[in-house]
Amino acid sequence: GAVVSQHPSRVICKSGTSVKIECRSLDFQATTMFWYRQFPKQSLMLMATSNEGSKATYEQGVEKDKFLINHASLTLSTLTVTSAHPEDSSFYICSVSREDQETQYFGPGTRLLVL
Amino acid sequence: AQSVTQLGSHVSVSEGALVLLRCNYSSSVPPYLFWYVQYPNQGLQLLLKYTTGATLVKGINGFEAEFKKSETSFHLTKPSAHMSDAAEYFCAVSDTGGFKTIFGAGTRLFVKA
Protein backbone atom coordinates (compact mmCIF):
# COMPACT_ATOMS: atom_id res chain seq x y z
CA GLY A 1 0.00 0.00 0.00
CA ALA A 2 0.91 3.65 -0.27
CA VAL A 3 3.43 4.95 2.19
CA VAL A 4 2.93 8.61 1.41
CA SER A 5 -0.19 10.47 0.36
CA GLN A 6 -0.64 13.95 -1.03
CA HIS A 7 -3.73 16.09 -1.19
CA PRO A 8 -4.97 17.41 -3.47
CA SER A 9 -3.76 15.50 -6.48
CA ARG A 10 -4.63 18.36 -8.78
CA VAL A 11 -5.50 21.98 -8.12
CA ILE A 12 -6.32 24.89 -10.37
CA CYS A 13 -6.29 28.35 -8.86
CA LYS A 14 -6.37 31.96 -9.89
CA SER A 15 -3.27 34.09 -9.90
CA GLY A 16 -2.77 35.79 -6.54
CA THR A 17 -4.41 33.14 -4.42
CA SER A 18 -2.70 30.77 -2.02
CA VAL A 19 -2.73 27.02 -2.29
CA LYS A 20 -1.99 24.48 0.43
CA ILE A 21 -0.68 21.02 -0.38
CA GLU A 22 -0.64 18.29 2.26
CA CYS A 23 1.83 15.45 2.53
CA ARG A 24 1.09 12.60 4.91
CA SER A 25 3.30 9.75 5.99
CA LEU A 26 0.98 6.77 6.32
CA ASP A 27 3.24 3.99 7.53
CA PHE A 28 5.67 5.56 9.94
CA GLN A 29 6.48 8.71 11.80
CA ALA A 30 8.66 10.94 9.71
CA THR A 31 10.84 13.49 11.40
CA THR A 32 12.04 14.61 7.99
CA MET A 33 10.05 15.24 4.85
CA PHE A 34 11.22 16.70 1.59
CA TRP A 35 9.48 18.87 -0.97
CA TYR A 36 10.41 18.71 -4.62
CA ARG A 37 9.29 20.57 -7.68
CA GLN A 38 9.23 19.09 -11.15
CA PHE A 39 8.71 21.08 -14.31
CA PRO A 40 7.39 19.28 -17.40
CA LYS A 41 9.89 16.84 -18.83
CA GLN A 42 12.48 17.79 -16.24
CA SER A 43 13.98 16.25 -13.17
CA LEU A 44 13.02 16.79 -9.56
CA MET A 45 14.52 19.78 -7.84
CA LEU A 46 14.69 19.76 -4.08
CA MET A 47 12.95 22.82 -2.69
CA ALA A 48 13.21 22.32 1.02
CA THR A 49 13.68 19.89 3.84
CA SER A 50 10.87 19.88 6.34
CA ASN A 51 11.80 19.07 9.93
CA GLU A 52 9.15 18.27 12.50
CA GLY A 53 8.94 20.93 15.14
CA SER A 54 11.43 23.29 13.57
CA LYS A 55 11.83 25.58 10.63
CA ALA A 56 12.27 24.13 7.19
CA THR A 57 15.60 24.30 5.43
CA TYR A 58 15.28 25.82 1.99
CA GLU A 59 17.53 25.22 -0.97
CA GLN A 60 19.32 28.10 -2.57
CA GLY A 61 17.06 30.12 -4.79
CA VAL A 62 13.81 28.97 -3.21
CA GLU A 63 11.82 31.80 -1.65
CA LYS A 64 10.86 30.76 1.86
CA ASP A 65 8.20 33.47 2.10
CA LYS A 66 6.54 32.23 -1.04
CA PHE A 67 6.71 28.53 -0.28
CA LEU A 68 5.66 28.17 3.33
CA ILE A 69 6.34 24.80 4.88
CA ASN A 70 4.82 23.58 8.12
CA HIS A 71 5.71 20.23 9.65
CA ALA A 72 3.39 20.27 12.62
CA SER A 73 3.32 16.57 13.35
CA LEU A 74 5.33 13.46 12.63
CA THR A 75 2.94 12.44 9.90
CA LEU A 76 1.98 15.70 8.22
CA SER A 77 3.84 18.40 6.34
CA THR A 78 2.17 21.16 4.36
CA LEU A 79 3.45 23.32 1.55
CA THR A 80 1.61 26.57 0.95
CA VAL A 81 2.25 28.42 -2.27
CA THR A 82 1.42 32.00 -1.40
CA SER A 83 0.22 34.53 -3.96
CA ALA A 84 0.58 31.98 -6.69
CA HIS A 85 1.52 33.06 -10.21
CA PRO A 86 1.41 31.15 -13.49
CA GLU A 87 5.14 30.46 -13.25
CA ASP A 88 4.44 28.49 -10.06
CA SER A 89 2.51 25.96 -12.08
CA SER A 90 4.33 22.71 -11.63
CA PHE A 91 4.23 19.20 -10.22
CA TYR A 92 5.00 19.22 -6.51
CA ILE A 93 6.15 15.99 -4.92
CA CYS A 94 6.88 15.27 -1.30
CA SER A 95 8.87 12.43 0.16
CA VAL A 96 9.47 11.02 3.60
CA SER A 97 12.49 9.33 5.01
CA ARG A 98 12.78 6.77 7.74
CA GLU A 99 15.16 7.37 10.59
CA ASP A 100 17.75 5.15 8.95
CA GLN A 101 17.48 7.54 6.00
CA GLU A 102 18.40 4.86 3.52
CA THR A 103 15.34 5.29 1.38
CA GLN A 104 12.91 8.02 0.53
CA TYR A 105 9.29 7.24 -0.15
CA PHE A 106 7.62 9.57 -2.59
CA GLY A 107 4.11 10.82 -2.67
CA PRO A 108 2.01 10.66 -5.85
CA GLY A 109 2.50 14.36 -6.48
CA THR A 110 0.23 17.39 -6.79
CA ARG A 111 -0.29 19.09 -10.10
CA LEU A 112 -0.73 22.84 -9.62
CA LEU A 113 -2.02 25.03 -12.41
CA VAL A 114 -2.19 28.75 -11.80
CA LEU A 115 -4.31 30.69 -14.26
CA ALA B 1 29.12 18.31 -3.62
CA GLN B 2 27.33 15.55 -5.41
CA SER B 3 25.99 15.32 -8.92
CA VAL B 4 24.44 12.83 -11.28
CA THR B 5 24.69 12.61 -15.05
CA GLN B 6 22.36 10.44 -17.04
CA LEU B 7 23.60 9.82 -20.55
CA GLY B 8 20.81 10.09 -23.05
CA SER B 9 17.57 11.88 -22.38
CA HIS B 10 15.75 9.34 -24.54
CA VAL B 11 16.39 5.65 -25.11
CA SER B 12 14.38 3.50 -27.47
CA VAL B 13 14.47 -0.29 -27.51
CA SER B 14 12.41 -3.04 -29.06
CA GLU B 15 10.28 -5.26 -26.90
CA GLY B 16 12.42 -8.17 -25.72
CA ALA B 17 15.68 -6.31 -26.22
CA LEU B 18 18.21 -5.38 -23.58
CA VAL B 19 17.61 -2.18 -21.67
CA LEU B 20 20.66 -0.14 -20.66
CA LEU B 21 20.27 3.24 -18.99
CA ARG B 22 23.49 4.97 -18.09
CA CYS B 23 24.25 6.89 -14.94
CA ASN B 24 27.48 8.43 -13.71
CA TYR B 25 27.82 10.16 -10.41
CA SER B 26 30.18 12.44 -8.59
CA SER B 27 30.56 12.28 -4.84
CA SER B 28 33.27 13.20 -2.37
CA VAL B 29 32.07 10.57 0.07
CA PRO B 30 30.89 6.98 -0.41
CA PRO B 31 27.58 7.40 -2.19
CA TYR B 32 24.21 5.86 -1.79
CA LEU B 33 22.78 5.35 -5.26
CA PHE B 34 19.21 4.90 -6.41
CA TRP B 35 17.15 4.31 -9.51
CA TYR B 36 13.57 5.49 -9.58
CA VAL B 37 10.85 5.08 -12.19
CA GLN B 38 8.13 7.61 -12.84
CA TYR B 39 4.99 6.97 -14.86
CA PRO B 40 3.08 9.95 -16.29
CA ASN B 41 1.52 12.20 -13.67
CA GLN B 42 2.68 9.97 -10.84
CA GLY B 43 5.26 10.12 -8.12
CA LEU B 44 8.49 8.17 -8.08
CA GLN B 45 8.80 4.50 -7.36
CA LEU B 46 12.05 3.05 -6.10
CA LEU B 47 13.46 0.41 -8.45
CA LEU B 48 16.61 -0.41 -6.53
CA LYS B 49 19.29 1.09 -4.36
CA TYR B 50 22.92 0.58 -3.49
CA THR B 51 24.14 1.44 -0.03
CA THR B 52 26.98 -0.89 0.90
CA GLY B 53 27.98 -4.49 0.24
CA ALA B 54 27.31 -6.32 -2.99
CA THR B 55 27.88 -4.08 -5.97
CA LEU B 56 25.33 -5.82 -8.17
CA VAL B 57 21.92 -4.81 -6.96
CA LYS B 58 18.70 -6.44 -8.05
CA GLY B 59 15.48 -4.50 -8.01
CA ILE B 60 11.86 -4.85 -8.91
CA ASN B 61 10.46 -5.69 -12.34
CA GLY B 62 13.62 -7.53 -13.39
CA PHE B 63 15.90 -4.51 -13.24
CA GLU B 64 19.39 -4.55 -11.83
CA ALA B 65 22.29 -2.14 -11.54
CA GLU B 66 25.97 -2.46 -10.82
CA PHE B 67 27.96 -0.03 -8.74
CA LYS B 68 31.39 0.49 -10.28
CA LYS B 69 33.45 2.75 -8.11
CA SER B 70 36.39 2.91 -10.52
CA GLU B 71 34.06 4.16 -13.25
CA THR B 72 31.79 6.18 -10.93
CA SER B 73 28.90 4.52 -12.66
CA PHE B 74 25.62 2.93 -11.68
CA HIS B 75 24.04 1.78 -14.95
CA LEU B 76 20.59 0.23 -14.95
CA THR B 77 19.89 -2.87 -17.02
CA LYS B 78 17.11 -5.28 -17.80
CA PRO B 79 17.66 -8.30 -20.05
CA SER B 80 14.35 -8.12 -21.87
CA ALA B 81 12.25 -4.99 -22.24
CA HIS B 82 8.52 -5.09 -21.81
CA MET B 83 6.02 -2.57 -23.09
CA SER B 84 5.12 -1.72 -19.50
CA ASP B 85 8.70 -0.57 -18.88
CA ALA B 86 8.09 2.57 -20.92
CA ALA B 87 8.50 5.41 -18.42
CA GLU B 88 10.90 8.04 -17.12
CA TYR B 89 13.85 6.75 -15.13
CA PHE B 90 15.84 8.80 -12.67
CA CYS B 91 19.21 8.01 -11.20
CA ALA B 92 19.91 9.64 -7.85
CA VAL B 93 22.69 9.98 -5.31
CA SER B 94 22.85 10.91 -1.67
CA ASP B 95 25.58 10.89 0.93
CA THR B 96 23.77 9.72 4.04
CA GLY B 97 21.19 7.48 2.52
CA GLY B 98 17.88 9.13 1.87
CA PHE B 99 18.90 12.55 3.00
CA LYS B 100 19.10 15.35 0.46
CA THR B 101 18.98 13.27 -2.66
CA ILE B 102 20.26 14.72 -5.92
CA PHE B 103 18.52 13.54 -9.06
CA GLY B 104 19.76 13.18 -12.59
CA ALA B 105 17.90 14.78 -15.45
CA GLY B 106 16.08 11.59 -16.25
CA THR B 107 15.95 9.22 -19.20
CA ARG B 108 12.75 8.47 -20.99
CA LEU B 109 12.55 4.87 -22.11
CA PHE B 110 10.48 4.02 -25.16
CA VAL B 111 9.68 0.39 -25.93
CA LYS B 112 8.70 -0.49 -29.48
CA ALA B 113 6.48 -3.42 -30.32
State how far the Cα of B8 lies from the Cα of B108, in Å rounded to an integer.
8
CB A53 within 8 A of CB A99: no
Select from A45, A104, A111 the Cβ nearest to the Cβ of B98.
A104
Select from A93, A101, A111 the Cβ nearest to the Cβ of B98.
A101
Per-residue pLDDT averaged across A33-39, rounded?
91
State how far the Cα of A65 lies from the Cα of B111, in Å rounded to an integer.
43
Is residue A54 within 8 angstroms of chain B, CB to CB? Answer: no
Specify the amino acid at residue A87: E
Residues in chain B, pLDDT under 70: 96-99
Is residue B44 within 8 angstroms of chain A, CB to CB? Answer: yes
| Confidence tier at A31 by pLDDT (50, 70, 90) | confident
